[in-house]
Structure 1
Amino acid sequence: MPTKNRANDYELTAVPFDQRKTFLGVTMVWTGFVFVIASMVAGGGLAAGLTFKEIVWVTILGNCFLTVVASLISVISCKTGLTFALITRYSFGIKGSRIASFFVPIVNIGWYTIQSALYGHLIAQLLHLGPIGEGIAMIASAILMGVFALIGIDALTVLGYVAIPNIIFLSIATTMKSVQLSGGWSSISQYIPASPTTLGYAFSIVVGTWIFSASTCIADIMRYAKNTKEAVLSAGCGLVGGNSLLIICGAITSIAMGDSDLTKVLLDMGLVIPSIILMSTNIWTTNAANVYSTSLNLANALNKGKKGILAVVLIVSALLTLTKPYNIGIFFVFLNTLGNIVPPLPGIIFADYYVLKHRYYDTSKLGYDDWNYIAWLSWVVSVLLVFVVKVGFPPVNGILFGFFTYLLLSVLLKRKHTYIQSR
């Protein structure tokens, strides 16, 4: 019976079935990834233009859509036991996937660095550490958050068990306290926004919270699911359950207190320790899973073990925090642009796996061709369409463009879908 290779966490091979995790363990890791302050802020954005009833409906619908996308990639990763990067080998080619694998980690490293810098900045403010102390706090946060990813999926699971109950309790408790201070639930249920917005725009806000990771990074977690039913259910728990909770809590708090950031609301109430706990658990669970996924993608791109790569990533990220990236507007523009370039990737994978390969990948080969030029051509065309077409939501458009472009080009170019073992 195969035993777990703790040196590489299966970054370059399939996860054996006897090493799969319990449903609760996988759900804790994914939900911890999803729990992030940005979702609360998104709830505040919804409150600016929707009634409370509309907020609830659009939040649930948006997260149901995210769950569908997440489930499609989760089923593939669960059945194959492969990371997102290794899955791209089948559609982009064994060698071609190494280039494709670079795009996801670039986005992840960027956001990891921003979140680490922001956390260190807030800690420095709370403790009055000064400029030098802030720099030390930012570097320390970038390195310490990565320790869990360095250990592997087991450490992320433990982190989820510790953090998620705290996040749920503090989020709900803060929201309830905010409602009490604002005059009760009647003020929430009867709320009328000053500048109403369309439900379509609100839907895009909800989908935008997790469309990137729900279509890519989730594969790195769900490869540990015991079966596809548990993988899909786990994806739904994190999105329809977890993400919806934070968005709605953020919306209620925004209506009641005029601020969707629960951490700031706790500070305004004079509750420093609870605010630090909420902020810490929120950012740490997301960032640890973020850099874990990053290391797996880079392992495929560089064909190296995860731990050495991760150590370099953490050092680079720690140094980059000193630039205070949360204040650099062009950095956000760069990351958002990449966020529109990546979504065609899962669209191409969906078309390849579910339609062209009839829901089967031979994991003993870890890919069929060295290069698949049709996938690359489809990606380029899809990215161009994403930036040209102004109707709809770019990340969602990217997935759809990738899916249909790949199918169309595969038919037009009469590619023979035969299994060719890589030389």
Structure 2
Amino acid sequence: MKKVDAEFSLQPVPQANRNGFWKMLVVMLGFTFFSASMWSGGALGAGLTFTQFIGIVLAGNLILGLYTGALAYIAAKTGLSTHLLARYAFGEKGSYLSSLLLGATQVGWFGVGVAMFAVPVQRVTGLDTYLLIGIAGILMTATAFFGMKALAILSFIAVPAITILGGFSVFKATETAGGIAGLLQYQPLETMGLAAALTICVGSFVSGGTLTPDFARFAKTKRSAVVTTVIAFFIGNSLMFFFGAIGSIALGQADISEVMFIQGLILPAIIVLGLNIWTTNDNALYASSLGFSNITKIAKSKLVIFNGLLGTIAAMWLYNNFVGWLTLLGSTLPSIGAIILADYFLVRKGKYKKFEEMNFKAVNWIALIAWVAGVAVANFVPGIPPINAIAGSAVVYVVVSKVTVLVSETNATTEMKKVV
């Protein structure tokens, strides 16, 4: 008997295997509960007044919510992952580029996350860093191996625990900063430009957001997919930014676990740190394996083990080169999601032929040109790089697609006239 792929790595998710609103909500919240967002929140908190910080975080996560919500809509309607959706815009072999970039970066995030757990825990426990990395990597890989069901169970535990324990710590930190009045009166020693602040906010999770379809395809309805995704990025990710900013202002530490260590909440700090990273790392490992499955056609479960091992081994290197990694993510990944959105909504008017009935091009060079253009616009045009990348890629893709169709139609008409 042929073994059924419970994660539907290379096919649409059947309606019978879809999940309800609450299960999808906790999975998406778990995805956005990530320590890197707190680091970004700490940077914003140190460079902005608290009023400016609130405005930037709400604006940035609203942008992320709109971007990811649109991707979630397509995923729920088609039942397809990011990598299978990319076949429509990029072509079957062309989609390998996006899968490689997205998959590799998520393995990187996994490695960074493992080290982000091990390093602070080593400081307070004295246990060997590499031992902690090994244990954390194995446990996180084990849960990712079991797919969406394990992600949902883990998120049901982690989301309330992080919110309650982290919220208590932030409440204490707020008192240290002089209460709400003290936060509102805070003046940064070195100010940050608003454009730079919005870049940090959007760029912090736009790469992960591009992989939203990998999870939203399991939503029973399009509405559920969009609402849970927008809540996760607009509220869940914003909460991480607030944790980071308040910790930075009050105690000079952006990571809530570091704040809790200072407050003497050692065990709760380790719990929050572990669960926070675990949920996001499982999502990252899951998504990376779907990407490599699209390229290799190897079962997702086998790739989870390989990717988890690779990310664990490279954890300290990735951790020590985190800024460079973020720069790479911010400049190359938003364009992929933008091209998928432009292809679906603007070029094909929201109508995709069923996946199993499609005869995909090998490579759609228009998509690759648009991707290169988006990366170039992000890096060389003034403004907010992630937004520049999304807008640049979408515009180039739509314009070149339309021009190509017009040229093709003109040539066909000319040939018909010659025949007549």
TM-score, normalised to structure 1's length? 0.91
Q: 1:340 aligns with which of 307, 331, 336?
A: 331
Counterpart of 1:159 in structure 2 is: 154
Encode CA deviations 1:155-194: one digit per residue, 9 max, x unaligned: 0000000000011012211111112233333212222223
Counterpart of 2:163 in structure 1 is: 168
Percent identity over the alignment? 31
CA 1:319–1:193: 2 relative to 1, 3 Å: closer
Is 1:326 the equivalent of 2:324? no
Conserved? CA contact 2:147–2:286, under 8 Å: yes
- Deviation at 1:36? 1.1
Is 1:247 the equivalent of 2:251? no
1:311 and 1:120 mapped to 2: Cα distance? 20
Is 1:316 the equivalent of 2:310? yes
Conserved? CA contact 2:195–2:384, under 8 Å: no
2:377 and 2:185 mapped to 1: Cα distance? 42
Encode CA deviations 1:273-295: one digit per residue, 9 max, x unaligned: 01101101111011011110001
- Deviation at 1:99? 3.1
State how 1:184-223 maps to structure 2 within 5 Å: 184-214=179-209, 216-223=210-217
1:45 and 1:280 mapped to 2: Cα distance? 22
2:358 and 2:217 mapped to 1: Cα distance? 15
Q: Tell me, which stretches of 5 or more residues in structure 2 are unaligned?
A: 410-420
1:193 and 1:124 mapped to 2: Cα distance? 31
* Equivalent AA in structure 2 for residue 168 of structure 1: T
- Deviation at 1:380? 2.4
State how 1:102-113 maps to structure 2 within 5 Å: 102-113=100-111
Conserved? CA contact 1:89–1:367, under 8 Å: no
Of 244-253 and 27-36, the range deviating more from structure 2: 244-253
State how 1:257-296 maps to structure 2 within 5 Å: 257-296=251-290
CA 1:398–1:115: 2 relative to 1, 3 Å: same
2:97 and 2:113 mapped to 1: Cα distance? 26
CA 1:384–1:178: 2 relative to 1, 3 Å: closer
Conserved? CA contact 1:93–1:367, under 8 Å: no
Q: 1:398 aligns with which of 389, 392, 411?
A: 389
Counterpart of 2:412 in structure 1 is: none
Q: Tell me, which stretches of 5 or more residues in structure 1 are unaligned?
A: 418-423
* Equivalent AA in structure 1 for residue 197 of structure 2: A
* Equivalent AA in structure 2 for residue 176 of structure 1: F
Counterpart of 1:365 in structure 2 is: 357
Counterpart of 1:60 in structure 2 is: 58
1:107 and 1:369 mapped to 2: Cα distance? 26
- Deviation at 1:367? 5.4
Counterpart of 2:70 in structure 1 is: 72
Is 1:118 the equivalent of 2:113? no
Of 377-386 and 16-25, the range deviating more from structure 2: 377-386
CA 1:193–1:388: 2 relative to 1, 3 Å: closer
Conserved? CA contact 2:206–2:330, under 8 Å: no
- Deviation at 1:407? 1.1
Aligned pairs, number: 406
1:68 and 1:367 mapped to 2: Cα distance? 31
State how 1:34-53 maps to structure 2 within 5 Å: 34-53=32-51
CA 1:325–1:350: 2 relative to 1, 3 Å: closer
Of 237-246 and 362-371, the range deviating more from structure 2: 362-371
What value does the CA root-mean-square deviation take over the aligned residues? 2.0
* Equivalent AA in structure 2 for residue 45 of structure 1: A
Conserved? CA contact 1:101–1:297, under 8 Å: yes
TM-score, normalised to structure 2's length? 0.91
Secondary structure of the residue that 1:344 maps to in structure 2? helix
1:47 and 1:119 mapped to 2: Cα distance? 23
- Deviation at 1:332? 4.1
